[in-house]
Amino acid sequence: MKKFEFIRLLSIFCAAILILSGGNASAADCPIKIGGLAPLSAPGSVTGGEAMRDAMNIAVEEINAKGGVLGCPVKLFIGDTEGLPEKGTAVMEKLISQDNVVAVGGGYHSSVGVAAGRVAHNRGIPVVFAETWSDEITNSKLPEVFRIAPLSSEVADFQSKFATTVPGVKKVAMIVENTDFGRPNAEASVKVLEKAGIKSVMFTVDIGTQDFAGIVERIKAQNPDMIFVILTGEASYNFVQQAADVGIGPQDLPMLCDQIALESKAYWTNVPDGNYGFMMRVGLPPQLYNDVAKSFLESYKKRTGKKVPESYAFEAYDSIRIIAQAITEAGSTDAEAIITALEKIKYIGALGTITFPYNRSNPPEKQNLDAKWWHQFPEPAVTMVQYQKSGQDSTEAPVVYPKAYKTGDAVFVK
């Protein structure tokens, strides 16, 4: 008898005993199906989506190698969102109604997260978003929606406070994606900068824009002291290099690049003049990895050939594993049981110890907190790193902010 068949029969037997004795443990239909969201086509961040897909597959392989969940193997269904909310809606509907997933992980773009979260709510299926930052995703307080990525407003606060440490910055120019990620991030940044006495000017573009020539000239005319690139995906590469071509790139001005710049090979291929660019990394610095992160690192290196997983790879990996742990602790694939387990969970993952302390039994308002903290992992580590050598790998780039994680001093150019 095969291992999974034996465990499955044992699981069914135990579930039957519990049901007869009044317990609530429905036997899971094998395999247990979990969905994953990732942008695998343009205009979405394809590079980021591929990293997330690899990470989610690694998570499922590890889960199955240890016997699966509730005695069943886990099967992963990944849907390509293309970075578009309408596509995210369709993919989420398919995962739930056709693939019959019991929960969904992953997710990269905030606009997709907002749309997919509504579908999850309407269908009553839990989702753990990995890399969607918009405050609106948790601010809506949908019972089914959880998130392990940082809040956009908190990231905006972080990046803007970093700007206040840059010598001579009196005006910041922002190139902003006109999405549920870009607009709120920029608006929150403006408020923090204003409090610090720093002026700001904002230029918005549609997702997937590739030619920034006109806007680059307009930004140059503003004579800014620093530039924030609030774009997602490969479009950010084009902007940074086009800015460099006219003398306002990272080697000319302090520039905060999109975190996809962490994909070192792709960054240097597309942005040969990108030295001295800053970028944020979600998750602990490599020197502080726990055992889970170190194990994932080795698996990810073997699969991709990369030296270290990107922020969104860590998040995607954890989003699937935390769902699996919740199903195990619930003893059921029932949606309500999984949601209850997630609200109580203490999950040790690659990002650290993840909990969702603000939930139905402890709503954020009870603690005088904004609704955005609903089902939100409250303490993701965020650091600022900087390339300081052309062709450098992002894992070797020093952490320059905040002080708690600092491994080197920033190099400022003007």
**Which pLDDT belongs to residue 204?**
96
| pLDDT tens-digit map of 249-279 | 999 999 999 988 998 999 999 999 999 999 9
Q: Tokens standing for 202? A: 């904002």
117 with 140: CB under 8 angstroms? yes
Mean pLDDT across 359-388? 96
Q: Tokens standing for 335? A: 């949606």
Q: In the predicted model, what is the mean pLDDT of the chain? A: 92
Q: What are phi and psi of 411, to 5 degrees?
A: -110, 120
CA distance 221 to 215: 10
Three-state SS at 135: coil
Burial of 3 (0-12, 13-18, 19+ CB in 10 A): exposed
- Do 113 and 8 share a structural domain? yes
pLDDT exceeds cutoff 70 at 2: no
**Which pLDDT belongs to residue 354?**
97
Question: Which position has the token pair 């578009």?
Answer: 84
Domain membership flag for residue 357: yes
305 with 297: CB under 8 angstroms? no
DSSP assignment of 89-106, as one string? HHHHHHHHHTS--SEEEE
- Do 185 and 147 share a structural domain? no
Distance of CA 255 to the CA centre of its chain: 21
Tell me the C-alpha to C-alpha distance, in Å, between residue 75 and each of 133, 172, 399.
27, 47, 38
Highest mean pLDDT among 121-130, 178-187, 207-216, 308-317: 121-130
- Do 326 and 354 share a structural domain? yes
- Do 401 and 270 share a structural domain? yes
Name every residue whose Cβ is closer than 8 Å to that of residue 368 and which is 6 or more positions away in sequence.
none
CA distance 245 to 230: 19
Sequence length of the chain is 414
**Which pLDDT belongs to residue 413?**
87
| pLDDT tens-digit map of 328-363 | 999 999 999 999 999 999 999 999 999 999 999 999
- Do 276 and 201 share a structural domain? yes
Looking at residue 338, its amino acid is I
Domain membership flag for residue 326: yes
| pLDDT tens-digit map of 291-342 | 999 999 999 999 999 988 999 999 999 999 999 999 999 999 999 999 999 9
Per-residue confidence at 160, pLDDT binned at 50, 70, 90?
A: very high
What residues make up the domain containing 316? 3-151+290-373
Alpha helix (H) residue ranges in 148-290:
152-163, 182-195, 213-221, 235-245, 264-270
Q: Give the end-to-end CA distance of the chain in Å, rounded to a whole number.
A: 69
- Do 259 and 157 share a structural domain? yes
- E strand or H helix that includes residue 256: strand 255-256
- Do 397 and 367 share a structural domain? no
Burial of 213 (0-12, 13-18, 19+ CB in 10 A): exposed
- Do 162 and 145 share a structural domain? no
110 with 134: CB under 8 angstroms? yes
Structurally, the chain folds into a number of domains equal to 2
- Do 245 and 391 share a structural domain? yes
Domain membership flag for residue 411: no
Domain membership flag for residue 349: yes
Q: How many helices (H) and strands (E) does the chain have?
A: 13, 14
- Do 360 and 316 share a structural domain? yes
Domain membership flag for residue 329: yes
**Which pLDDT belongs to residue 350?**
96
**Which pLDDT belongs to residue 162?**
96
Domain membership flag for residue 203: yes
Domain membership flag for residue 103: yes
Which residues of 262-362 form beta strands (DSSP E)?
A: 278-282, 347-349, 352-354
**Which pLDDT belongs to residue 15?**
42
**Which pLDDT belongs to residue 284?**
83
- Do 246 and 129 share a structural domain? no
CA distance 286 to 305: 17
Q: Could you tell me the CATH number of the domain that includes residue 218?
A: 3.40.50.2300
Mean pLDDT across 73-101? 97
Domain membership flag for residue 413: no
- Do 163 and 95 share a structural domain? no
